[in-house]
Amino acid sequence: MVDLTRPITIIGAGMGGLTAALALADRGFSVEIFERAEQMREVGAGLQLSPNALRVLGGLGLMDALLVHGTRAQDVILRRAFTGRRIASIPVVANDGMPYVSIHRADLQTVLLRAVDRSPAITLRLGASLQALTPARSGLDLWFTGSEARHRHHASLVVGADGVHSSIARRLGLAAATSAGTIAWRGCVSRATGDDVTPGIEAWLGPRRHAIAYPISGGRETNLVLIEPMNRTTEADPTGLAHRFRSWDRRLTSMIAAAGDMTGWPLNVVPPTRSWRHLDDRLILIGDAAHAMLPYAAQGAGMAIEDAAVLADTLARAPTQSAALAHYESERRPRIARVRRRVLFHRLIYHLPAPLSFGRNTALAIRSPESLGKDLDWLYDWRHPVPSRDVGDD
């Protein structure tokens, strides 16, 4: 087993970093998290937690708190862009009954931060901006600047969970994340008293564009996401959204109008060939820092949360740190590759122009919801396999 007396250092207090800290503490490790932000202010609006992610968070004792803030979904409803007519319904509850929940990012962050604060094994340091990292005897020396001025921190293992634009990746000389050529516009629509809450995820599929809506904040708001090609016009002109979607389903265009100014987020991806293990297994990348992908399968947060669980388990079981990281990578890479393929499939299918979209709609409509749901069993029914014996040396 890896030495439990030596704290593990996590860079980044996003969803992946906070979950990793909780999972490691649950396995007996002490953890220090360094976050460059002075205050924890979550940006963005909503996200979707599929059963594979909720299974991990539930195992950490967070399910009840998440369900207070989140809204359970039974299915994803696919709709035609211009008429709103239903194409198909895809069940998203796992075979073991584990739910699918839509939630505000700030609510998820609050649940995670409260759990971190309750754990005596975790220390969170805000306002710590990483400036340099250098190999040192039995680990790495990290240099931070912040409210405490410049200071050095020695780490035996560093977990890089600092997102798609990872400062660690940049300092390692890794190829930067690249633009996917698309932009996601995000906004919220407040639900008026008496309005019905949509108990699921809705997606409108159109040529080169799609839109998604789902309830957040306990159903008091609807999270709206519009994804379209990015160019100088779209990036600089959020007010043109209503015009570009003007011929779509009237219910959707009403939500766009109600959302007002929406925030644009250019979508970026990390090269699939990016290395995760570095500096003689003194550093491992997880989450978006390792494998940021497009949001077409709503698995960005889910994959980071899975990473956290698998990393904590392999570190607790392996005889050496190198053995743990080798086993972690061998288990995660095939899973991430399969999710990437599903993401690319969704991107193609969602944005088909006519007449190809007619064939897509027909093919989906003739299948039963149960049949469509089975296509995602491999994704939603995932459990981290518990080895029958300790992880061996690599």
Query: Active-site residue numbers?
Result: 214
- 112 closest CA partner among 214, 17, 12: 17
- 2 closest CA partner among 387, 385, 325, 384: 325
CA distance 41 to 117: 16
- The pair of three-digit structure tokens given for residue 104, joined into one six-digit string: 């505000």
In the three-class reduction of DSSP (H, G, I as helix; E, B as strand; rest coil), residue 346 is classed as helix
Beta strands in the chain, from DSSP E residues, in sequence order: 8-11, 31-34, 46-49, 71-73, 75-80, 86-91, 100-104, 122-125, 128-136, 139-146, 151-155, 158-160, 178-190, 201-206, 209-216, 221-229, 263-269, 277-278, 283-285
Q: What Rg do the C-alpha atoms of the chain give, in angstroms?
A: 21
- 164 closest CA partner among 285, 326, 19: 285
C-alpha distances in Å from residue 290, one per residue of 38, 44, 83, 154, 161: 24, 21, 39, 23, 8
- 14 closest CA partner among 342, 288, 371: 288
- The pair of three-digit structure tokens given for residue 133, joined into one six-digit string: 């990292």
- 201 closest CA partner among 219, 220, 214, 184: 214
- The pair of three-digit structure tokens given for residue 109, joined into one six-digit string: 């962050």
C-alpha distances in Å from residue 241, one per residue of 19, 153, 224, 264: 35, 47, 12, 11
* 248 CB-near residues (< 8 Å, 6+ apart): 81, 82, 204, 206, 211
* 182 CB-near residues (< 8 Å, 6+ apart): 227, 228, 229, 230, 266, 267, 294
Which single residue is written with the structure tokens 């016009």?
233
